[in-house]
Structure 1
Amino acid sequence: MRHLKTLVVTKNITAPKILNWEVSAVNNIETAIEKLYQQAYNVLAISKETEEINKSKLRKIITVLFPNTILVEFREISKLSESVKNGYWSKNKPELQRSYLDNSFDIELASSL
């Protein structure tokens, strides 16, 4: 089975679990940049607690050097799974975000009148 990889930048390093994802956790931006050079990650998740200057530095590096990596911010470790999945699927499968209305019932009802 193919596993998607995510790198989590957070101060409290616990082992977050996301179903069918390989998760690596680091505690600072510099270590995250080193890890990105070592292997490709699908998603990079940054805690909202990280300083804004470090976030902006990482955003610039990601957009230039790793354009396929998706950057996601999360507030709580418990919401990490949702944030990563939403960020990944909204970029790679945007058609899943669209909703189409099926008005076949309305058309059938109108034609029967």
Structure 2
Amino acid sequence: MKHLKTLVVTKSSAVPKILNWQVSTVVTIETAIEKLYEQTYSVVAISKETNEIDKNKLQKIGTLLFPDVTIVEFANESKLSESVKNGYWSKHKPLLQRSYLDNSFEIELANSL
């Protein structure tokens, strides 16, 4: 089974947990960029506490050098898993967000006329 990896950029010392995900934490954006060169990650989660300049740096470098990586922001540790899963699945399975209507009744009605 393929393990999904996420890299969390936060100043918190607690190790966050996401069900069925391998989580690595770093404190600075520079360390996160180094980790991205070393390993492949599915998602990079950035804390909202991080400086805007550093966030922009990671987003620009991430989109140019690592196009397969999804970059998301999270407000606190409790919202981390939800943000990571929503960000990953919206990029990799966009059809899940679409809803299709079943028009079998209209087809049956048209065939009966």
TM-score after normalising by structure 1: 0.90
Query: 1:59 aligned to 2:59?
Result: yes
Partner Cα separation in structure 2 for residue 71 and residue 12 of structure 1: 19
- Is the CA contact (8 Å cut-off) linking 1:7 and 1:26 kept in structure 2? yes
Question: 5+ unaligned residues in a row in structure 1: which ranges?
Answer: none
Equivalence for 1:21: 21
Aligned residues: 112
Q: Secondary structure at the match of 2:54?
A: helix
Q: Quote the Cα distance in structure 1 between the aligned partners of 2:61 and 2:33.
A: 8
Between the two proteins, what is the percent identity of the paired residues? 71
AA aligned opposite 2:76: E
SS of aligned partner of 1:78: helix
User: Which secondary structure state, in structure 2, belongs to the residue aligned with residue 53 of structure 1?
Assistant: helix
- Taking structure 2 as the reference length, what is the TM-score of the superposition? 0.90
Instruction: Give the structure 2 partner of residue 5 of structure 1.
Output: 5
Structure 1 match to 2:86: 86
Gaps of 5+ in 2: none
CA RMSD of aligned residues (A): 1.8
